[in-house]
Amino acid sequence: MPSALSATPGVLTVELDPSAIMQSRPPEPLSRDSADLLAGPIADDLRRIVGESVADAGLIFPAALYDLTEILQPGLPMVEAMLDIYRGSLRGGPFEAQLLAIGSAGGRFPQAAIAPQRARGSGPLLVLPFALVAPGEQLDPIRQTIEQVLLEKGRASLATDRAVRQLMGVEPVHLSYATFHDLSALMKVQLEHAELGGLWQLIEAALYRPDQIETVELASGNRFIGYAGEVWTPWLTFDDLAQHRQTDSAQTQAQYAQWAQAQRQTMAGLASHGINVHIVEPLAGVQAADAEVALSVAKAHTLESSMPWFREAIVAPDDTTDAAIVTLTEHQTPELGILAYTALIQAPDGTLLGLVNDYPTQASGIDAIVAHWQAQAGATEATFHVERPGGITAGGDPAHLQPWLEYQGEA
């Protein structure tokens, strides 16, 4: 009995001039007819590079260009999707080596699972993915050959170059073939050059070591725990950082800006690769040296995914029925924008009813925090102020966030 179908993936890399792509979107997927026109030169390239044995395997590719982040995702969903489509084309019959070029119809890609995102600013290195498909024992020697020769001998032919230019409307600087492992090596170099080695460490673990716990500590104090294609990260507050490092306001502002920038960059990078990031309460156990202990604590104290902010209660607002004034102070830097809000709730005589710091953990959290406190004020017909002093309002040694009390900001 023949073994189950297997797939070995690769890509045609399409390197573009950054000035031609970074402010625009990748081209639309090719139509079905155009996809068929591109299929011939690509199949000819693979036979030339890998050998005639490639003709014994099926070849499937979506005729579209993708950013690397769309390809290198946990579980390699692009490969699974291509294999499923190929398997479906057999309609339950025996394996046949055929060429399947997937194109769009009516401007839409028929398979939503592999539709390109075409995000603005993708590239400048885009890829056209493909997969060779055959029963496992038949594909194994082809897979070994591809891993050995595809990058070394994989320059695209003039026919492929011409087809890509004419059909996709782009002007490649360079066209060559590579394996997914080659892409990983390339991305590692790029991220490490950009001083984002910790991000690559988490991505690599999600791709190739999902059963192992991966902990990453950044110089700015950020901590990430990866496991099973997901990542957990404690949300450090301004006050916690100052308390831990015993720093004054100026020092803490500089250090917290570094932490926030690294946190945002890493979270955005993980999300772009389809890696779920969970925000965790900044408890001591999450910092445990034992990775299993840290992961267990992180899972037990993960914030609800529907909550787009983290709250640090300085004075918990247990009873706000007598609230007469709700003042929301915005803390921000010119480079990073809004980092936190401090909410001050007061009774008519000025008595403190509550003092909390709310940190947006995602972009939607900014508006959500303001709307929450505006609704809280409306419930008791309290006066509502939003103060925007244009920086971070903090004091003390160690420092802590403070509300803006001069009422000279933008109310």
Rounded-to-10 torsion of CA 30, 33, 39, 41: -100
Peptide bond into 334 cis (omega under 30): no
What does each of the 411 residues of the chain score in pLDDT, given as a tens digit? 457 999 999 999 999 988 777 678 899 999 999 999 999 999 999 999 999 999 999 999 999 999 999 999 999 999 999 999 999 999 989 999 999 999 998 778 878 888 999 988 887 899 999 999 999 999 999 999 999 999 889 999 999 999 999 999 999 999 999 999 999 999 999 999 999 999 999 999 999 999 999 999 999 999 999 999 999 999 999 999 999 999 999 999 999 999 999 999 999 999 999 999 999 999 999 999 999 999 999 999 999 988 999 999 999 988 888 899 999 999 999 999 999 999 999 999 999 999 999 999 999 999 999 999 999 999 999 999 999 999 999 999 999 999 998 754 343
Token code pair at residue 92: 């339950």
Per the CB < 8 A criterion, the answer to whether 3 and 166 are in contact is no
Q: Residue 72: give the domain boundaries.
A: 5-192
Are 104 and 51 contained in the same domain? yes
| Last residue within a domain, chosen from 300, 325, 343 | 300
Are 266 and 317 contained in the same domain? no
pTM to 2 decimal places: 0.91
Domain count across the chain: 3
Are 167 and 255 contained in the same domain? no
**H/E segment holding residue 78:** helix 77-89
Residue 20 located in a structural domain: yes
Which residue, 9, 159, 174, is CA-closest to 83? Answer: 9
CA–CA separation, 411 and 395 (whole Å): 22
Token code pair at residue 370: 């303001």
Are 20 and 149 contained in the same domain? yes
79 phi and psi angles, rounded to 5 deg: -65, -45
Burial status of residue 236 (CB atoms within 10 A of its CB: 0-12, 13-18, 19 or more): buried
Are 12 and 152 contained in the same domain? yes
Are 37 and 172 contained in the same domain? yes
Within the chain, what is the greatest distance between any pair of CA atoms?
A: 87
Which residue, 276, 14, 7, is CA-closest to 124? Answer: 14
Residue 410 located in a structural domain: no
| Last residue within a domain, chosen from 192, 218, 235 | 192
Q: Which residue has the tokens 């995602």?
A: 362
Residue 384, beta-bridge partner list: 326
